[in-house]
Amino acid sequence: MLGPVILAASRSDRMRRLVSAAPVTKQVVDRFIPGEDVDDIVPVVRELADHGLELTMDVVGEDITNPAQAAAARDAYLELVDRLKPLELGTRAEMSVKLSMFGQALEGGHELALSNVRPVVEAAAEIGTTVTLDAEDHTTLDSMFAIHEELRKDFPQTGCVIQAYLFRTEADARRLAASGSRVRLVKGAYKEPASVAYQDKHETDRAYVRILRTLMAGEGYPMIGSHDPRLIAIGQELAHQAGRKLDEYEFQMLYGIRTDEHLRLAAEGHRMRVYTAYGTDWYGYFMRRLAEKPANLRFFARSMLTK
């Protein structure tokens, strides 16, 4: 029950001010967001890579209000690519982007987001890596998929995310699997109405399995974005049934969540990619992590009370 309340709070400016100003917030935030700028994050990339893990890097900050902020977001990613270049990790360190941060919700947003994301995809390709377009709320997805298709004409490795809780996703998965795309499948992290999304966790889990089966049987590269032990085991089984080798799919989890499992899967020879977010505008990302697990909220509340 708490999840939807926290997700609603994630859209509130008043809550944003309250939570961001709380003195103990930072230590809780650090668990999920291990740095505020690119200088903080380069050592984290090195350390994870040294442990045999792969990365997808996210510069947080989806709530922009003008084109100058969208251009600044583009530049932050370009700086990240510059800093990744000497590490020579290739696709072991890719990037995840939210098109809202590139201006998608502003006037003329579709074109603006495309024009801001393209240089990032080009720069990534120059250092031998790629970009995945994150999935945001359902109203943004037609634009996201159109941008994905456009980018793939020149950069076929560009990936995208699909969300199992949405009714539309089984059809999206069939289309993307046939087109040979890289696709990250997640359960979905936004508050969505019953007209477009399953409200029951079990229904979402069942849809996740159906969609994963489609992706595994298809021509593309499935990326299993989940911490759910049952879905991870099913993912391994479906990959096996589809005759996929270990480098023909991968697992992805968020930084700070089930870290032992990251290491276990990597030690078993799986490709294990850690979604690593950094930046100062962490509110929306952080609140989604709280909503996913009420125990996080209790921990957060307790640390505020004991200070």
Is residue 190 near ligand FAD by the rule CB under 6 A?
yes
**Is 186 among the residues that bind ligand FAD (CB under 6 A)?**
yes
- Cα separation, 184 vs 95, in Å, equals 13
The window from 41-49, 99-107, 235-243, 249-257 that contacts ligand FAD (CB under 6 A) reads 249-257
Active-site residue flag, 213: no
Rounded to the nearest whole angstrom, what is the least distance from the CB of residue 250 to ligand FAD in the complex? 10
Write the interaction track for ligand FAD spanning residues 208-227; mark x where CB under 6 A is met and - where it is not.
-----------------xxx
| Residues between 278 and 307 with contacts to ligand FAD, criterion CB under 6 A | 289, 292-293, 296
Within a 13 Å sphere around the CA of 244, how many CA atoms are in the beta-carbon half? 26
Q: Which of 74, 110, 187, 262 binds ligand FAD (CB under 6 A)?
A: 187
Q: Within its chain, how far is the Cα of 284 from the centroid?
A: 13
Catalytic hit among 184, 273, 288, 289: 184
Write the secondary structure of 175-242 as one string of H (helix), E (strand) and C (coil): HHHHHCCEEEEECCCCCCCCCCECCCHHHHHHHHHHHHHHHHHCCCEEEEECCCHHHHHHHHHHHHHC
How many whole angstroms from its chain centre is CA 270?
19
CA nearest to 223, candidates 44, 41, 55:
55
Note the helical H segments in the chain.
2-9, 13-21, 25-32, 38-50, 67-84, 109-126, 141-154, 169-179, 201-217, 229-241, 259-267, 283-292, 294-305
Q: Helix 2-9 to helix 294-305 angle, to the nearest 10 degrees?
A: 70
| Among 15, 49, 257, 304, contact with ligand FAD (rule: CB under 6 A) | 257
- Residue of 58, 74, 92, 134 marked active site: 134
State the minimum distance, in angstroms, from the CB of residue 182 to ligand FAD: 13
Structure tokens at 101: 């941060």
Q: Is 168 in the site for ligand FAD (CB under 6 A)?
A: no
Q: Which of 135, 177, 216, 239 binds ligand FAD (CB under 6 A)?
A: 135
For ligand FAD, which is the closer residue by CB, 89 or 186? Answer: 186
Q: How far is the CB of 217 from ligand FAD (least distance, A)?
A: 21
Is residue 134 annotated as a catalytic residue, yes or no?
Answer: yes
Q: Is 61 in the site for ligand FAD (CB under 6 A)?
A: no
Nearest-approach distance from CB 232 to ligand FAD, in angstroms = 9
Q: Among 265, 274, 204, 207, which Cα is nearest to 232's?
A: 265
What positions carry a catalytic annotation? 134, 184
* Binding residues vs ligand FAD (CB under 6 A): 134-135, 161, 163, 186-190, 225-228, 252-254, 257-258, 275, 289, 292-293, 296
